Structure 1
């Protein structure tokens, strides 16, 4: 969370370009892709290296220009969303693929981008701290590095769980921070009122805060149903301090970087997983000022108190992810079933780390002896069957 993943990607990209290859960076949302693009342009322009951005919103003429520059090799770096894996996108010599928040993409999508080059090097990045056992299972074929330090000058974020009765306390803190020139996020779980779950919709919350609670401040609204242009306008207005409060659904969890924001108020915090809450909390505390994360608990959610306590007590994403996995199970931690995560009949990712390490070691030794697996026909057959099942019928080569 602001710990310097982008810098690592840039160093790898420069190494690829220096060796005569092209590099591609794929991010899950347009907001995030654009943020990466702006950072890369600022750095690479100094080295006179062109960078382009390709997303669903890219105009047809611009898209054609990018396609042709990629094929001739005059464009060394391309940033984008899953628009990068469309058939029309052909690289001259792709040497490095970087995927950000890679668990947000399906196995096939990641493979498609890698197939655009001849065995390009692969760097996966995520701000989601993944427990070691889960990392071994998901990324068993990768070398995993963890950046577990914060940049110098960062202060720990003060995290507090509140109930509805203590709402005034939260609003007082928000008012105090804005008067001092800071900004605030208010995050909600759903976009529209669902009859089953009494969740405040972002639209209503925005109206309530703007009319009744903070009429003296400017308040922005960000949710998943908006077009990417509307989202960008809203985020830019917040980044430039034209709005002091940003009411948002979880669209904000990845990639929005506003160092001036010091308060994160999360409504119905019990509805989020711990890892997700930790990521949301990482949107504040990016500047030099003291920051606060307020976890607002919904009525009748007493069992959630234990879970939320973990966040009050720890700022360590890996510890939090480990606890999250113990409490909710591995499939839930990543928030996606398409992560290719196996269902084990007997093994437990929480308890069986040693066995997992042994299995991984054995797999590497097998591959060293015979990469084709011809010496182990049963193992080969099982692997081919599992691979096809996972990849929707693709043949393992």
Structure 2
């Protein structure tokens, strides 16, 4: 029987040279190897006779080696291996490059199976560098036995690779191990029977070597269900754990909230009212709120969160708004100050570079003392608000803006008992938590990765918002675009210019691709860089206009100063990296110009677009791109045609896959699990079974294997 726990270096065909290479793919044990699933399959299930071969086709042929030779080409020092392979219907030439050892392996008279692409040149048909394997007389057939051949017959697995580890080598390692493999199955028999699933061992065998596409999909479904079940169990247990904690009960004061809303300088949308009501009802509970408020760009999330904070303040407790950047924290401080007006609440701003109490600049120690005494009702800040020397007297409500930008440790530092709760011995009393994001989350991700959260959705935008005109700009249209930008700035408007890089890349510098393979940095070298673009625009294109530059390597104080000056109209054009992606509110800005727009995802481009169109003037988003790639241009067209962030999020996930879409590529999940995040029907089935399992076995003590699997899953996966 195959020992799944056996270290990979113990396999005869691995050795010390290949062990570190396999480790790059996360393969350290035999189990890791067998759970390294194919990315796709090459279909060589039909063997054709040589007379049936047509140019351009991928073919699988079987025949006898009639001739074999090696020769060297100088001065290139390239070896070419030529063969002639024949069957009953004819013969075809075969050529391999720099693989002279093949001549020793495939002697004349050897029966061989070949799989590859047929090409045509002036000398006739030939197969170029096909995959090959020796076969016996019994295997010499137009319908090779299912699973009988490793590299050329049937659906052949193609795996994620890395330098020195090819799919052929992985097949060579995996195929022999499958024969005697019996994997302990964590899924209860009743679930397997109810859903007509394969056993785990069958699924592993058939995902590597399926008889047909249907069998491959059946195997994927079983394995994906396992991962989704773990997602749901994790989410349900997290929610149960949260509900066992205690929070301050914030009583709802209808008159107070109605009075505050009536004083706002605008009317709330229906979605804002619903979200505010959900937050206020959560605050009335004695266990912590754990809600995610997702809203399209410009939908007005901050005022909704503020309604909750006003209620908390009138209840005698404190609230914190935590933003990922100083620029955003400063903006929240200004916005909240304006919205509160004369509501007689004290607000504080605490960032790495400054501290404010209401409208006055103060020493940080002064503000920290006021927070500790409970004299600050609403505290707005960056990670500075979670420093060890910050003690809240009665913190009851935490708002995290763009919550996926904070790590687990940062979130945990905020959601801890206040000094009053600790003094009274109530260490289990923790604040309510509201997370906010302007990146709409596709439905399937909200059911899985965010399954432990309650979700409020704000789709509707304020009535005064104009539709932003979005256009793709070709290199030939650049001069006209610059003229249009000049006219806007001369009319008193302002412009954002976004570049994907801070500085030009060194094209000679080696970088690593997704598979760990070396590649040159040429493509990134072609990308527009902020520093170079700033120099070009300020000195050559718009020397008469005021141009500023902003990027992530600047000191926080410098970034804040530039943004404040831009907001005060001291600059007409701001050249920036993606630091302006979220939350920046410049109502006078009417043009968002994005260089190398093909390098950003749809959701991120939509965030950029949301930085304009916030005032009374018609606004524009200009997407500069020079790529001929049809898929990329189709993606940009989706942005031109659609201004609904939720619809774009679904499209973006379809294009890029769930893993890349919301930053779970580095989450510890295998690719199959990430792909399963898009399967709504399977997610629902997994959620139902998770609920039933925990209903009858609350700690999974009667399902030992499943509990062990869940514990491992919780250790390995992380979503931040």
TM-score between the two structures when normalised by the length of structure 1: 0.90
What is the Cα deviation at residue 376 of structure 1?
5.9
Q: Distance in 2 between matches of 1:140 and 1:299?
A: 38
Could you tell me whether the CA contact under 8 Å between 2:668 and 2:717 is conserved in 1? no
| Shift in CA distance, 98/306, structure 1 to aligned 2, threshold 3 Å | same
What's the Cα RMSD here? 2.6
What is the Cα deviation at residue 299 of structure 1?
4.4
What is the Cα deviation at residue 385 of structure 1?
4.0
Cα offsets for 1:296-315 (capped at 9, x unmatched): 00345444111111101100
| Shift in CA distance, 105/204, structure 1 to aligned 2, threshold 3 Å | same
Q: Distance in 2 between matches of 1:126 and 1:287?
A: 22
Counterpart of 1:134 in structure 2 is 445
What is the Cα deviation at residue 154 of structure 1?
1.4
Mean Cα deviation higher: 183-192 or 114-123:
114-123
Which of 153, 158, 170 is 2:464 aligned to? 153
Q: Distance in 2 between matches of 1:81 and 1:127?
A: 18
Q: Distance in 1 between matches of 2:386 and 2:626?
A: 41
Which of 216, 240, 252 is 2:544 aligned to? 216
Q: Distance in 1 between matches of 2:689 and 2:329?
A: 38
Q: Distance in 2 between matches of 1:192 and 1:149?
A: 38
Cα offsets for 1:273-297 (capped at 9, x unmatched): 1100000000111112111111000
Cα offsets for 1:144-169 (capped at 9, x unmatched): 11111111121111111112111012
| Shift in CA distance, 4/185, structure 1 to aligned 2, threshold 3 Å | same
- The number of residue pairs the alignment matches comes to 391
Could you tell me whether the CA contact under 8 Å between 1:104 and 1:336 is conserved in 2? no
What is the Cα deviation at residue 131 of structure 1?
0.9
Counterpart of 1:316 in structure 2 is 644
Does 1:72 find its partner at 2:373? yes
Counterpart of 2:309 in structure 1 is 13
Counterpart of 1:395 in structure 2 is none
Q: Which runs of 5+ in 1 are unaligned?
A: 393-397
Q: Distance in 1 between matches of 2:315 and 2:688?
A: 32
Q: Distance in 1 between matches of 2:482 and 2:554?
A: 27
What is the Cα deviation at residue 390 of structure 1?
4.6
Could you tell me whether the CA contact under 8 Å between 1:85 and 1:109 is conserved in 2? yes
Could you tell me whether the CA contact under 8 Å between 2:372 and 2:392 is conserved in 1? yes
Counterpart of 1:170 in structure 2 is 481
| Shift in CA distance, 349/157, structure 1 to aligned 2, threshold 3 Å | farther
Could you tell me whether the CA contact under 8 Å between 1:69 and 1:75 is conserved in 2? yes
| Shift in CA distance, 11/372, structure 1 to aligned 2, threshold 3 Å | farther
Instruction: Summarize the alignment of residues 147-296 of structure 1 with structure 2, pairs less than 5 Å apart.
Output: 147-195=458-506, 196=521, 197=524, 198-296=526-624
Cα offsets for 1:297-341 (capped at 9, x unmatched): 034544411111110110010111111111112232234656x58
What is the Cα deviation at residue 387 of structure 1?
3.4
Counterpart of 2:714 in structure 1 is 387
* Structure of greater Rg: 2
Q: Which runs of 5+ in 2 are unaligned?
A: 1-296, 356-361, 419-428, 507-520
Cα offsets for 1:354-385 (capped at 9, x unmatched): 33234345555666777666676655554444
Could you tell me whether the CA contact under 8 Å between 1:102 and 1:125 is conserved in 2? yes
Counterpart of 2:662 in structure 1 is 334
| Shift in CA distance, 178/45, structure 1 to aligned 2, threshold 3 Å | closer
Bigger proportion of residues as strand: 2
Q: Please state whether the residue corresponding to 1:149 is helix, strand or coil.
A: coil
